[in-house]
Amino acid sequence: MDLCLAKTRSCMKTQYERNRVSELAHEVLKQKQFYYAGKPQISDAKYDAMESELRKLSPSHPVLAYVGASPSATAPRITHDVPMLSLNKTYKVEDLHSWVGEEPIVGTPKVDGNSLSLVYEDGLLKLAKTRGDGRVGEDVTDKVFWIADCVPKLSKKITIEVRGEVYCSAHKFAQLVEEMLDRKLERPTNPRNIVAGILGRKNHIDLCRYFNFFAFEVIGADGLKTEMGKFEFLDNLGFSVLPHKLLKKPVEVETYLEEIKQWMDDDEIGYDGAVFSYNSLSVQSRLGNTSHHPRFKMSFKWPGLTAQSKIDKIEWFPSRLGIITPVAVIEPVALSGATITNVTLHNAEHVKAYNLKRGDRIEIIRSGEVIPKFLHVVTPVEGEFDWPVKCPSCKSKLEFDGVRLKCLNSDECPAQRSGFILNWMRAVEIEDISEKRLEQMLSMGLIEAVHELYTLRVEDFLKLPSTKDKMAEKLYKNIQATKKVPLAKFLNGLGIEGAGLRTWEKIIEHFHGLESIQKITAEELVEVEGFAEKSAEQIVSGLKDRKDAIKQLLKVGVTPVVQKAKFAPGEGPLAGKQFVITGALSMPRETIEKMIREAGGKAGSAVSKNTSVLVTNEGDSSSSKMKKAKELGIPIWTEEALLTILREV
């Protein structure tokens, strides 16, 4: 009897699984077609859950090998000489470790965009194709000339194919929405959909100027041996490339994923995971492809859970920089083990682009246990978005800079004042003064500005609630201990937009003391590798705005300490030499460049007649830097040769 019952249950389970597989396969295929056509009907998280269930029940189901949607009937069809395959993906770090093994891999963030192929003949862009179904795509050559990052003419007369991702940044999406509404076009739902939509249009193709392109693959280039070499090759050709990092040990993967998770909090580009590739191209060639994906690549996404809720109200909070940030207060909803009541809306431009307002039903996501994010509007209510006119903290009139609402009353705005002081305390590492304790100090009138921290006495701290003699003494000593502070931490404590601790360390290497740094111009800062014009202007402007704060801090005895250089200017074993690095090294390039500067040398980014030495571990590389160095007769050193000299410093 028990045996018969077991058989019956087994048959029922088998039949259920067959039905479930059929149901899932139908739905996965349907949603894939919607997705690749740029019109997804469900969230990524819901789709991923369905695909994972199907893969578990039927690992070799043909629907799982289906790559994309067929090109539209009206668009010119064109075949890919090399199929544009999808990527194998995982949500488990353990799976990544198993896949990595002992091979060095290259990690990049994963962009939520649309794949594109660019074909060049003798250096000229001849053809652009969407991925389509992976084997046949659409000819969109006329569209890509509007996309700034799609290079129309290469610096070399070579015949290659470049592949990458077209995306629309959050900032440009808001501008695009505004222009589309002006043209009486339908309001787009999200950045990814509108890229596919406009690439598929016959008209309004000039709207492609709101898009950007990241290159990540090249086909047909001779002499490349590594994935890192590919990125350098593409960079030298003038393409924007994804941030990429060589990971030599499996243990480095988890650390890198934490970096990616932090980038995901910045919604400007729209990263939604990470992609890993074996660095060796010979290993890639040996592993080959399945019908669905290359075996030498793996994408990783955190399992994201989504939920829907209604906006009760939108609150606006001023930051230490005067930026007014919108937060949606929503009806409480359970998500990823937590009850969510607040969702960040990023900035004023975001509110405008999505026309967000009280009563809208929205979908939110909490992925990788990071801050809950707004995904899209599910059911809008009638009406238009609303912005505050005055600062919630000081009631000053707000200004819109095209992206954000800002309060310009930096000297008197309570929120900016407390934010500045809190940032200073964290930067110089004043211990035991929490945000709550700082608010008490401000509300009781013990301090009004950051420099007044250093004028406080032990008896002042005794006025704070629940503060006894021992704690008051400790708070006083903790503050006084930061009077001598490294210059980089001092500058970082000023809370200047666009500059973190590493930024200031780099600036100090070139301009040394506080006095000379206060005198730098944007033009001088742009000459330092890694500084764009906009960030340079922000830093110079920020230093001017903090001029009085710096003066007051110095007046109360705060002393920024500059680490004494090992060598005087113009001295050192590498003095008078300029080094350029190419290819992957055993340590971060920034670390090597810092060591070069500490030894009296200079670090350059491009090979020229002023270059003294090219440093590379790839002696047989065919990179443009290597070729130019050989043409100019520039000495070529290995990393070990350089380190031998640096170790003696």
- For the domain bounded by 486-561, which CATH number is listed? 1.10.150.20
Task: Give the pair of three-digit tokens for residue 636.
Answer: 């070529």
CA pair distance 371, 268, nearest whole angstrom: 15
Give the residue from 88, 69, 80 showing the smallest Cα distance to 30.
69
- Mean pLDDT across the stretch 612-641? 83
Task: State which of 14-23, 35-44, 180-189 shows the largest mean pLDDT.
Answer: 180-189
CA angle 236, 240, 242 (to 5 degrees): 110
Task: Give the pair of three-digit tokens for residue 3.
Answer: 């045996």
Relative to beta strand 484-486, strand 559-561 is parallel
Which amino acid is present at 398? L
What element of type H or E holds 576? none
What element of type H or E holds 74? none
pLDDT over threshold 80, residue 569:
no
Residue 401 pLDDT grade (very low, low, confident, very high; cuts 50, 70, 90): confident
Residue 66 pLDDT grade (very low, low, confident, very high; cuts 50, 70, 90): low
Residue 184 pLDDT grade (very low, low, confident, very high; cuts 50, 70, 90): confident
Poorest-confidence range of 14-28, 252-266, 371-385, 596-610?
14-28
Q: Where are the domains of the chain?
A: 2-65, 77-299, 304-407, 414-470, 486-561, 578-646
CB 338 within 8 A of CB 422: no
Task: Give the pair of three-digit tokens for residue 626.
Answer: 């290597």
Poorest-confidence range of 14-18, 397-401, 424-428, 562-566?
14-18
Q: Who's near 374: CB < 8 A, 6+ residues apart?
A: 328, 343, 344, 345, 346, 350, 354, 356, 362, 363, 364
Which amino acid is present at 328? A
Arithmetic mean of pLDDT over the chain:
84
In this prediction, residue 413 carries a pLDDT of 93
pLDDT digits (tens, 9 = 90+) for 198-251: 888 888 888 998 899 999 999 999 889 999 999 999 988 989 898 899 998 877
Task: Give the pair of three-digit tokens for residue 206.
Answer: 């000039």
Phi (first) and psi of residue 265, to 5 degrees: -70, -20
**Would you identify the CATH topology of the domain 2-65?**
Helix Hairpins (1.10.287)
pLDDT digits (tens, 9 = 90+) for 330-377: 999 887 667 889 998 888 988 988 899 999 999 887 765 556 888 888
pLDDT over threshold 50, residue 10:
no
In this prediction, residue 4 carries a pLDDT of 45
| Sign of CA pseudo-dihedral 22, 28, 32, 38 | positive
Q: What DSSP line would sit under 153-219, residue for residue? A: B-SS---EEEEEEEE--HHHHHHHHHHHHHTTPPPPS-HHHHHHHHHT-SS-GGGGGG-EEEEEEEE
CA pair distance 328, 332, nearest whole angstrom: 11
Relative to beta strand 636-637, strand 105-111 is unpaired
In this prediction, residue 7 carries a pLDDT of 41
pLDDT over threshold 50, residue 8:
no
**Total residue count of the chain as it appears in this document:** 649
Q: What DSSP line would sit under 204-259, residue for residue? A: -GGGGGG-EEEEEEEES-SS--BHHHHHHHHHHTT--B---EEE-STHHHHHHHHH
Question: Crossing angle for the helix pair 624-632 and 227-236, nearest 10 degrees?
Answer: 70
Give the residue from 607, 611, 518 showing the smallest Cα distance to 560.
518
What element of type H or E holds 138? strand 136-138
Which amino acid is present at 134? G
pTM comes to: 0.52
In this prediction, residue 608 carries a pLDDT of 82
Phi (first) and psi of residue 169, to 5 degrees: -70, 160
In this prediction, residue 317 carries a pLDDT of 92
In this prediction, residue 134 carries a pLDDT of 83
578-646 homologous superfamily: BRCT domain (3.40.50.10190)
User: To the nearest whole percent, how much of the chain has pLDDT over 90?
Assistant: 36
**Would you identify the CATH topology of the domain 77-299?**
D-amino Acid Aminotransferase; Chain A, domain 1 (3.30.470)
Task: State which of 5-14, 85-94, 514-523 shows the largest mean pLDDT.
Answer: 514-523
pLDDT over threshold 60, residue 5:
no
Tell me yes or no: is domain 304-407 CATH 2.40.50.140. Answer: yes
CA pair distance 521, 497, nearest whole angstrom: 16
